Structure 1
Amino acid sequence: MSIPIIDLHCDALLRMQDHRLRFLDSPKLDVNLERLRTGHVMAQAFAIYIYPNFSLEEKRASALKQIAYFQNEVLGGQVVQIKQWADFEKLQPEQIGAFLTIEGVDFFGGDLSFWHEFYALGVLSIGLTWNNPNEAADGLHSTLKRGVTSFGKDIIALNNQHKIFTDVAHLSEQSFWDVIEHADYVISSHSNAAAVCPHERNLTDAQIRAMIAKNAPIHVVYFPEFINGTKRAMMSDLIRHIEHICALGGKHLVGFGSDFDGINAKISSLEHAGMHQNLVNELLKYYSEADVRGFAYANFLKHLPR
């Protein structure tokens, strides 16, 4: 059985930019067109991620280069852009939807006009920062203890107004709680459960319960370090995170956020986008088909910003 997949996070644009790779079939890309087809992916989120040590000029240039790769390499033929949530309803069975997300607004440089520019380009989910502090929020590695700044709250207000997700992955704990308070449409695009693996990138039970109370999707990530704290993991190890979120009452919110092309270690038999169905088949051993369809795509579609 093949079940369609919606994957909420990959870093293929950055890898294409860094290594000038061909999206069609480059074996150096975890996410390429060939592998999306093989994995029965119906929609893939493509993150814009900028190295935090770049100058502001370099950050902005990198963001625009990644947009160019998205438009010129990813889109076309079978791959169509999802620029608004209603576009999911227009996807044909033979098409693959592709949509943009931002993993850190460093390249905004405190200028809100960049929000409007990238919204016009089709960005549908925004994480205020990666692990570092920036003008919008503190990330996991920040020591500033600000949480979300006034600039970050301006971004959240625009996200609310235009029905854009605010992503809590990579945020400091204070920033997380600020997003819960201020954002109407919250998501964790690629995080696991800290109770199963106590990594700083994972969500505590209190955070998971807050996400559930907010009706906010939680997409599990395929990186072994966030799964069991090592460089090697099995699919059964990832499923323990799904089980834990379900036990807390979040079965209807679980989805996938692979982090392909952004991770340097992989789950066995889940090394690239062409292998998503291996996870589907493993999940079917423990969950009903309806539940697995929920994890794979339906939960996300049911919780789109309206």
Structure 2
Amino acid sequence: MKWMDGHCDVLYKLWKYPEGGLDFYGKGHGLDVTYPAARRAGVGMQVFAIFVPEDVPRSQAWQVALEQVDRFYEEVVRKGGLQPVRTPEELNTLTRENRMGGLLSLEGADALQGSLRHLRILSRLGVRQVGLTWNYANEAADGIEEERGGGLTRFGRELVREMQRLRMVLDVSHLSVRGFWDVMEENLPVIASHSNARAICSHRRNLMDDQIRALVDRKGLIGITFVPKFVHDDPDAATVDDLLKHIEHICSLGGEERIAFGSDFDGIEQKIPGLEHIGKLSLLGEELLKRYPEHLVKRWTWTNWYEFYAGQL
């Protein structure tokens, strides 16, 4: 089974623990996603988030984002066999040469410091996707944990339109509900890289049914995520079976063709039993095949992401 994972925080860990002995090409000490484990599980592409945590002063956010981009090219690309994916041609080489690819995504516009110039620089450095917020407010919009629940700011709308010009993908995971609907008024490709269904698990980070339908109508993708508190209202009780309930619910809303996966590995401490690291994806594939036709499972694990990026990069 071939896989594409729509979200991980490897770069954040490599930046945060520079002396921690973390090695993307090693045996996985301290990393949930490593090259050897990913390849054993059949991973053909991984989306790598650039995440600047909220405890970083805003004045340093841009520098931290650039440091994580450098980690990607120095410690993930240059050290081994991973192919950076920035264009449809580079995406095509993954299947033609049986290589693993990596796509850069910015998680939170905080790093841009209110500058479209910074967005353009990141685009030229290979960042092809942007989530406007993490959980809280920034210059572009409110995140889902911001109590006032505001939508896009003036800068946020300018940012979205510049992303459209640059052919970048917009990720609505973490965005406020009002911000989500503001984004849906714009004309650019939209995904939720790591979000589940709120009807199954009531955490506010999950998508409501009308949001899921809107993404389906827009031909966006929903990356089912492995974060236990987004899978089950009692995170300690979350199982793979509970994860599959989110898939079933999205299918019931017409989303059968819009499902993908976004693990959030290396961004979470607690794990679902049986999904502790990227190497366990093959076991999830076996569970999916017990319940769904093979052609659907292959779409969810690889083809949906692949076709989406092939049409948008």
**TM-score category by the smaller chain?**
over 0.9
Per the TM alignment, residue 248 of structure 1 is displaced from its structure 2 partner at its CA by 0.5
The residue that corresponds to 1:250 in the other structure is 255
Q: CA RMSD in A?
A: 1.3
SS at the partner of 1:251? coil
Give the drift of 1:228: 0.4
Q: Is the 8 A contact 1:78 1:94 kept in 2?
A: no
- Choose the corresponding residue for 1:19, options 17, 20, 29: 17
AA in 1 matched with 2:40: T
**Percent of paired sites with the same residue:** 38
Q: Distance in 2 between matches of 1:85 and 1:132?
A: 33
Secondary structure class of the residue paired with 2:291? coil
User: Where does residue 44 of structure 2 map in the other structure?
Assistant: 42
Pairs within 5 Å for 1:193-212? 193-212=197-216
Q: Deviations over 1:16-51 (max 9, x none)?
A: 111222211132100111111121110000000001
1:144 deviates by 4.1
The answer as to whether partners of 1:228 and 1:237 remain within 8 angstroms in 2 is yes
Task: Pick the aligned partner of 2:191 from 174, 187, 190.
Answer: 187
Aligned equivalents of 2:97, 2:270: Cα separation in 1: 32
Aligned AA (2:52): I
Matches within 5 A, 1:99-248: 99-229=103-233, 230-248=235-253
Aligned residues: 304
Contact (CA 8 Å) 1:232, 1:268: kept in 2 or not? no
Change (3 A) 1:232 1:14: farther
Match of 2:2 in 1: 4
Conserved 8 A contact 2:149-2:177: no
1:152, distance to aligned residue in structure 2 (A): 1.2
List 4+ stretches of structure 1 deviating above 6 A: none
Q: Which residue identity is paired with 2:297?
A: V
Q: How much does 1:161 deviate? A: 1.9
Greater mean alpha carbon deviation, residues 13-22 or residues 213-222: 13-22
1:89 matched to which residue of 2? 92
CA distance in 1, matches of 2:250, 2:76: 33
Match of 1:300 in 2: 305
- Aligned residue in 1 for 2:288: 283
What is the CA–CA distance in structure 2 between the aligned matches of 1:7 and 1:183, rounded to whole Å?
A: 25
Corresponding residue of 2:60: 58
AA in 2 matched with 1:272? H
Instruction: Return the TM-score normalized by structure 1.
Output: 0.96
Larger deviation, residues 82-91 vs 100-109: 82-91
Q: Judging changes above 3 Å, is the alpha-carbon distance between structure 1 residues 183 and 27 closer, same or farther for their aligned structure 2 residues? A: farther
Task: Determine helix, strand or coil for the equivalent of 1:59.
Answer: helix
Q: Tell me the CA shift for residue 302 of structure 1.
A: 2.5
SS in structure 1 opposite 2:4? strand
Query: Shift in Å at residue 145 of structure 1?
Result: 4.1
What are structure 1's unaligned runs of at least 5 residues?
Answer: none
The alignment partner of 2:236 has SS state of coil
Output the TM-score relative to the length of structure 2. 0.94
CA deviations 1:234-282 (Å, max 9, x no partner) are 2111011001101100010100000000011111111101111111110
Equivalent pair of 1:38/1:275 in contact (CA under 8 Å): no
Question: How far apart are residue 61 of structure 1 and its match?
Answer: 2.1
